[in-house]
Amino acid sequence: MISIGDQLPEASLTRMGDNGPEQVNLSDKTKGRKVVIFAVPGAFTPTCHSAHVPSFIRTRDQFDAKGVEEIICVSVNDPFVMNEWGKATGAAEAGLTMLGDADCGFTDAIGMRFDAPPAGLIARSKRYAMLVEDNKVTALHLEENPGTCETSAGEALLEAI
């Protein structure tokens, strides 16, 4: 599992662009920059929708004041779902970047995959938030229970930086 001090692996995620789905090289987003990446088990799922994303919308200006250049939300969903979820939560309007990890490649590479078959969640991401500076993890908050949003909330990560 990824830890503080580790470099992020090379990863290609997807987002909706002006002409449909487009690939985003994660290292292009993090190289030479201070970025927050937070991940959720699934778009439109209760805790993700009502607690996790709103916590980063609320704290956006405070992260900006600390020099964070971008806040990225990652979920093992396709870019169509992530785009609609960004609209539904207000995340897109707030300037959060919604990226899909549809094949779970990035999530697997950093050791954050989990499965919850009874809930219909297969190949999903654990709930976490991290601060990445020049592609290196400098803070990492992982939730023990994917149904809670406490240590991975925007406010908790903000306090740590």
> Are 141 and 154 a contacting pair, CB within 8 Å?
no
Q: List the structure tokens of 78.
A: 């396709």
Of 63, 65, 56, 62, the closest CA to residue 98 belongs to 56
Q: Which CATH architecture has domain 12-160?
A: 3-Layer(aba) Sandwich (3.40)
pLDDT in tens, 75-88: 999 999 999 999 99
Of 61, 88, 85, the closest CA to residue 73 belongs to 85
pLDDT in tens, 85-118: 999 999 999 999 999 999 999 999 999 999 988 8
- Is 104 catalytic? The answer is no
> Are 157 and 141 a contacting pair, CB within 8 Å?
yes
CB neighbourhood size of 141 (10 A):
18
CA dist., res. 156 & res. 93, Å (int): 23
Q: What is the pTM of this model?
A: 0.96
